[in-house]
């Protein structure tokens, strides 16, 4: 597996980004999170902003992008791994890479009920400390 900072928008990154957006829309709290993340911009504009700010790490297997980690301002905004590659250590490798190569993030967004992501961050000794409640 190779982890690198995305430097340009390519087809693989866009396809994976669209998969992640679709999974968020279907998840409890995902629509509200997407609204905050996009702040009125299109999904592609948000992706381009992460790339321009060097805030998108991608994981590749055999040249194909299979996961990413988006972060800004010391906050991990999201980690996404293609379903057939989950539970193989890709998300852990992305977080580990980020922590080893930059100022370690201090927070991460996890949606309600996403036990897998919560467990991932707890395995790094992070603690859940903020629950955001809102009406949708």
* Reported pTM: 0.88
Give the pLDDT confidence score for residue 80 in this predicted structure: 95
The DSSP secondary structure of 83-117, one letter per residue, reads GGGTTSSHHHHHHHHHHHHSSPPSEE---TT-HHH
Give the pLDDT confidence score for residue 132 in this predicted structure: 62
Give the pLDDT confidence score for residue 85 in this predicted structure: 96
Per-residue pLDDT of the chain (136 residues; tens, 9 = 90+): 999 999 988 889 999 999 998 888 888 888 888 888 888 788 888 999 999 999 999 999 999 999 999 999 889 999 999 999 999 999 999 999 999 987 888 889 888 888 899 999 999 998 877 666 555 5
Q: Write the class of the CATH domain 2-122.
A: alpha beta
Distances from the Cα of 91 to the Cα of 19, 80, 127, 136, angstroms? 16, 7, 18, 29
Q: Helices marked H in the chain — which ranges?
A: 11-26, 30-38, 43-52, 90-101, 115-122
User: Domain ranges in the chain?
Assistant: 2-122
Give the pLDDT confidence score for residue 128 in this predicted structure: 79
């Amino acid at each position: 597996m190779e982890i690198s900072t995305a430097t340009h928008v390519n087809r693989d990154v866009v396809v994976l980004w669209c998969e992640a957006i679709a999974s968020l829309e279907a998840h409890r709290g995902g629509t509200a999170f997407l609204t905050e993340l996009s702040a009125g911009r299109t999904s592609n504009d948000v992706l381009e902003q992460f790339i321009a700010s060097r805030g998108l790490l991608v994981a590749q297997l055999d040249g194909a992008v299979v996961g990413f980690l988006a972060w800004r301002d010391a906050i991990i905004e999201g980690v996404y791994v293609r379903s057939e590659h989950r539970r193989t250590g890709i998300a852990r490798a992305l977080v580990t890479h980020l922590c080893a190569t930059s100022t370690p993030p201090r927070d991460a967004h996890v949606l309600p009920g996403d036990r897998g992501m919560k467990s991932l961050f707890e395995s790094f000794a992070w603690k859940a400390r903020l629950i955001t409640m809102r009406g949708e």
